[in-house]
Amino acid sequence: MDSVVVREAKKSNEVDAQGTREVLGSLTRACDARGMNGLTDRLADINRWLEQDLTDVEREIAHVAKGGDTLAEKSARHLLDRGGKRLRPICVALASRMGSGFNPAARTFAIAVELVHNATLLHDDVVDLGDMRRGAPAARVIYGNAASIFGGDWLLVEALTRVQAANVPGVLDRALAVIREMVIAEAWQLERRGRVGATAREYFEIARGKTASLFRWAMFAGARAGGTTDDVCAALEEYGTHLGLAFQIVDDVLDFDGEAAELGKSLFIDLREGKMTYPLIVAMQKSSELFPLLEEVCRDSEVTLSPDLAKRIHTIVQNTGATRISLELAQEMCTEATNCLSRLPTGRARDALAQVALAIPQRRK
């Protein structure tokens, strides 16, 4: 379904002459397909503002994947062509617009952040043996694990090459530091798999590394490209961290509550991988029943989750109100993100960032 995004983006390039209304309609459909229904509603008035930015990014991402014909490139293309929310490029675009605007350096970083994100997805799917991604079979299912490993390596290098070429002081250093942080957090999460007694503190350390760090970098890179002051840049980075943490919590909630079919994956995927999501951690604090059940699921090195057990766990988690509590925390994080914006000059970009923060807890896929 997400390939609609690419098609729509391409179409929207071709219809410049047919007027604004049609383009906006196409963009709205593209945003819907990206799972940004909440975002679409909230961002209706800024869609047009970002239109050219996102179209340019989409065109270049399509171009990256067209480069070659090895299994590495095919795997990467398969994933990139499925679209995705492109939320990180949107972050870069808005951060750059807090400064001088979405210039070529900002565009480069918007593309790079999406390539890094996709690189980690290719490797994660091999690590997790994930079968579905963005509503379609994962690249590793079609081209094999080996192809996905090389595909991830390739996208990482493509991203870094672009960041390097943009030649904005400090941005490459930070990109490398962030990728390192992501890898270390992923490795740490790997080690914690199946350990039921995870704490909220551990959870947030991992989420900060594996998810929030790239959102932070998106804001940093956009700000640096736009030439904002250091204070503005720092506030935007803080916003990015809060936004990323909220994003991860909502992602966890969707493992219990999401529109699974639309998300292209079944529920409890995280639990099947032995990952202690935030709702599980909350629910364990609220109900003593849950811990022994999760221990049963993770007893052997192989995680096994019978339909009966899945149902019982789902009921307990729901009864504790853990998903509601998790979403409330995500909301709080987004409020904190919005608070960071108070340190920024007022204007359209700041308003748009506030709207993005409001939309995150509303995403449903």
Residue in 25, 68, 292, 345 binding its own copies, rule: CB under 8 A: 68
Residues in 69-128 at the binding interface with its own copies, rule: CB under 8 A: 70-73, 123, 126-127
**Which listed range, 2-10, 43-51, 147-155, 341-349, lies at the site for its own copies (CB under 8 A)?**
147-155
Residues in 14-53 at the binding interface with its own copies, rule: CB under 8 A: none
User: Is there binding between residue 63 and its own copies (CB under 8 A)?
Assistant: no
User: Is there binding between residue 195 and its own copies (CB under 8 A)?
Assistant: no
Residue in 109, 150, 215, 268 binding its own copies, rule: CB under 8 A: 150
β-partners of residue 137 are 132
**Which listed range, 104-112, 164-172, 213-221, 347-355, lies at the site for its own copies (CB under 8 A)?**
164-172
Residue in 87, 91, 110, 156 binding its own copies, rule: CB under 8 A: 156
User: Is there binding between residue 172 and its own copies (CB under 8 A)?
Assistant: yes
Smallest gap from residue 235 Cβ to its own copies (A):
27
Residue in 173, 231, 259, 295 binding its own copies, rule: CB under 8 A: 173
β-partners of residue 136 are 133
Query: Under a CB-based contact definition with an 8 Å cutoff, are residues 149 and 127 in contact?
Result: no
Smallest gap from residue 187 Cβ to its own copies (A):
4
Picking from 131, 86, 132, the residue whose alpha carbon sits closest to that of residue 107 is: 86
Residue in 6, 27, 93, 179 binding its own copies, rule: CB under 8 A: 179
Smallest gap from residue 183 Cβ to its own copies (A):
5
Question: Which C-beta is closer to its own copies: that of 4 or that of 184?
Answer: 184
User: Is there binding between residue 133 and its own copies (CB under 8 A)?
Assistant: no
Q: What's the token pair of residue 59?
A: 């065109």
**∠32-38-41 over CA atoms, to 5°?**
80
User: Is there binding between residue 333 and its own copies (CB under 8 A)?
Assistant: no
User: Is there binding between residue 230 and its own copies (CB under 8 A)?
Assistant: no
Residues near its own copies (CB under 8 A): 68, 70-73, 123, 126-127, 144-147, 149-154, 156-158, 160-161, 164-165, 172-173, 176-177, 179-180, 183-184, 186-188, 190-191
